[in-house]
Chains A and B, each alone.
Chain A
Amino acid sequence: MGSLTFDGVTFQYRDTNALALEVPHLGVDNGEFVLIVGASGSGKSTVLRSINGIVPHLTGGTFSGSVTVDGRSTRDNPPRLFADAVGFVHQDPEAQLVVDHVESDIAFALENLNHDTTSMRRRVEEVLDALAIAHLRDRSPATLSGGERQRVAIAGAMAAGPGILVLDEPTSQLDPQGAEDVLAALHRLNADLGTTIVLAEHRLDRAAPLADRVIIIDEGKVHQDGLPEVALAQYRGAPTVTQLGRSMGWSPPPLTVKVARNYARTYTTSRPPDVATASGPARITVRGLDLRYGDRTVVRVDDLQIAQGEIVALLGRNGSGKSTLLQALSALHRPHRGTVERIGRVAYVPQDSNPLFSTGEVRTDVMETLRLLGHSAKHPDAERSANAWLQRLGLIGMAHRNPRTLSGGERQRLAIAIVAVGGAETLLLDEPTRGMDAPSRDALETAVSDHAAGGGSVMLATHDVELAARVATRVVVLGDGDVVADGPTRSVLSGSLFAPQTLRVLPPLLTVEEATMWARPR
């Protein structure tokens, strides 16, 4: 139990001309941990949804060939008949929980499959233990963290005892700790229970070492299929440590920091010159800030400045007050005490981009901001300004598309264009790389660097230390609402338990680019 096969599969969504999927043959053996990677829109989700027949039973479209799971074909069986063979988990944990009670939600599949009461009780207890969520059994999913919610969703998918667990970017909306918890749970299910795991992911730093095999999907086709070290060796979105190995000529490129350190033993590094601290005038000056929700203080900042030309990364665990601070800097949260002085316009881009899409077209959504700010949308300058931001963020080719048809990363970039087009000198970005693939991340980093180089300032709240290492000139760390570190990127990240991978392999170098310039074999 737990094997699947694609044979001569092609699939085309309704009202499109191109094939979304073209897989002559693909097999997954019982107990394998398979990682599916590829850029947004490459067809990863279509592959996953074909496994239990969501494609084409629920999507419509034209399907040929066959997908069989443990000898049963999706051609003859709709998804509900695969509930005992394939567990399916979406990227958004909120969208898949049916009942507002953890234990009852986990039992949902068992009730549908008409398990007897004794068997149900046993299965629910087993998955609660397997996913280490027994303490959450009486909670409402609405009160759980993202990582906890996603583990509940996995428990719900696993309750009926399927041999295969299919997960579509389950960590894309989670913070690092939540992602770590989910991946640890998957590792346990695979290693201890022998569950076949088919996982699509963008964030490969933690997922790649767990996989037995990596399949790269491009334009609906299997571009590469093999061992992780081999398949990811040339992949653009490979883990940072793999990219480092690639640049340094290490073969095979490492997947983990531990392996990379073995390669790095024969290298010596020099300290690169420090990046000049921004000396421009302060755009934002904070004094004696006390931010509260009700009576509870969530952020205390005595003194903080963001200067012209700076890119400041704001790090800190979930709930440390990053979003609240950014909202206060942009006048969206009224301070209980203290002052925030702003020079020029300040724009805040929220974590969730979807609330900004209200017109049904990418360019019109950007122009809408200008209209709301009192500019004539028909004025040539308005269109020029909108096009400039779309160009800068690599979205100009999608100007006429509906934002809802864009990938997660493209939506995040569009949100930045929608808010920034108002002419803000200071941009405050809240978790901008959440759910982004490598091309989207690159486009974002270029746009942020260009904005700062052009005299703007940027502060980005992020969990992504690799992003901070690549683009930030300064790092501020929040801990329980207080600033616990503030300084140049290298000095703050050096010695941190959550340092970027390159820094952990070749200190004091922060990025792969620095390593190629400042690391030499002994």
Chain B
Amino acid sequence: MIAAAVSVQATTNPIYTTLVLLVAALVVEAHGRRTLFAKAFPIMIGLAAVFGAVRVLLTVLTTHATGSTVLFRWPYEFTMPKVVGGFTIFGSFEQEPLVRSLFEAYAVVAFIATFAAWNAVVSHHEVLRAVPRAFHEPALVVAIAIAFVPSTIATLQAVHLADRARCGGTPVRKGRLRRYVIPVVEGGLERAIALAESMESRGLGHSRATREETRAASLSFIAIAAMGGAIVALISRARLAAGTLAIASIAMFVSATIVASRAHPRTRYRPKPITKTDQVIMAVCGISVATMLMFSLLNDASMSWSPHPLSWPSVNPVAVIALLGLAAPVVSRRVHDERHVQQTTESKAEGPTWVH
């Protein structure tokens, strides 16, 4: 997922972006699990497309550059006051901003597709089992949060049905947000309290965390935050910031692992070892992304494409082969074989007062 996302961001060539998008779809087709997250793959792409369309619309209505090819002129135009930017809305409708914004929207769709594909194919509990022991607690928090997603969606559907039932089958929009939000939030809180009771009853925190584990947990939280920042910077094409944050994140992950390894070892149920196949896939994907980054740094002509003047993007066969390498998971055995699994459907309060 990271290799594909970085590859999308390393290039402005729409052919390469299309290849990454196709690889994501191929991986989902080959390994998609019958879960809510797999169903969300087309929805996330659709949402990204809507976001992109809005972006294109705003761009073409507000961007007017000297020397651009004017496709047509709107019959009217408005120039905003200087205090709000002084830009012009409507006026000329130009080809270059249109094509560039279309490509940028397309790149956003491909970027989101890589994340959607990851969510569609991974088993989150297997990720939990595969992470180093130092990251067990943060990974557990994420796993629990993910487990809440299906029930929250089910609650939303139940609220929608109940709202229509109450209004005789006809939805009433007025005040609907409150009628939707309160039951979902209150229901979620009730479930969270029950879950907290259940986890405590099942021994969560039975053994106190050692000093090393606490330090490792802090370092891993910082690492996750840095990785998040790197992704945001990557989307904004702030490559230096993205690289710095990514390196910091990796350093924190390594430090957390070293610190945690000094703590008393804790047992885990069926930890998932990284197999040779996994290593090969990771290596192939690593080579793919490294190749793309290298071409980007070497300013390979095929890596960047400009709509001005409008022309077909060039293609480097080596880059194409590198991108096809991202499809390595397709030819592998499923990470978690579910062929035989028939899926039928898819506060703490203040302390007590003890009286003696």
Contact = CB atoms under 8 A, between A and B. Distances in A.
Interface of A: 10, 14, 49, 52, 54, 56-64, 75, 78-84, 86-88, 90, 92, 94-101, 103-104, 107-117, 120-121, 124, 138-143, 145, 153, 156-157, 160, 327, 330-332, 345-350, 352, 354-360, 368-369, 372-373, 404, 418-419, 422, 424
B163 interface: yes
Contacts of A404: 186, 190
Interface stretch (B5-13, B194-202, B222-230, B291-299): B194-202
Interface string B89-110: 0000000000000000000000
Contacts, number: 233
Given A79-B197, A332-B164, 13 more contacts: A60-B352, A63-B355, A75-B354, A79-B201, A95-B190, A109-B203, A120-B270, A142-B151, A348-B165, A355-B187, A358-B178, A359-B182, A372-B167
Interface in B105-132: 123-125, 128-129
Contact of A101 (B123, B175, B183, B353): B123
Sorted from nearest, which 4 A-B pairs have the closest CB atoms?
Answer: A83-B203, A56-B352, A331-B169, A95-B194
A83 B197 CA distance: 12
Given A83-B206, A354-B183, A138 B201 contact: no
B309 interface: no
A357 B186 contact: yes
B212 to A, nearest CB: 16
B179 A114 contact: no
B345 A143 contact: yes
B147 interface: yes
Contacts of B150: 100, 140, 142
A143 B198 contact: no
Nearest to A91: B194
Contact of A61 (B124, B205, B352): B352
A98 B198 contact: yes
Contact of A63 (B182, B205, B353): B353
A330 B162 CA distance: 12
A113 B206 CA distance: 6
Interface of B: 35-36, 123-125, 128-129, 143-144, 146-147, 150-151, 155, 158-159, 161-169, 172, 174-175, 178-179, 182-183, 186-187, 190-191, 194-207, 266-270, 336, 338, 341, 343-346, 348-356
Nearest to A327: B161
Contacts of B179: 358, 368
B96 to A, nearest CB: 44
9 contacts: A52-B201, A63-B353, A95-B190, A98-B198, A111-B266, A142-B150, A330-B168, A347-B168, A352-B162
A145 B162 CA distance: 22
A104 B125 contact: yes
Given A63-B355, A100-B147, A349-B165, A120 B269 contact: yes
Contacts of A349: 165
Contacts of A58: 196-197, 200, 348-349
Contacts of B186: 354, 357, 404
B178 to A, nearest CB: 6
B36 A92 contact: no
Contacts of A104: 125, 128-129, 269-270
Contact of B166 (A97, A99, A140, A418): A418
Contact of B197 (A62, A90, A139): A90
Contact of A347 (B165, B199, B354): B165
A327 B178 CA distance: 24
B194 A90 contact: yes
A372 B200 CA distance: 42
A356 B143 CA distance: 29
Contacts of B204: 80, 108, 112
A138 B354 CA distance: 44
Contacts of A373: 167-168
Contact of B182 (A157, A358, A424): A358
B203 A160 contact: yes
Contacts of B351: 57, 60
A14 B351 CA distance: 11
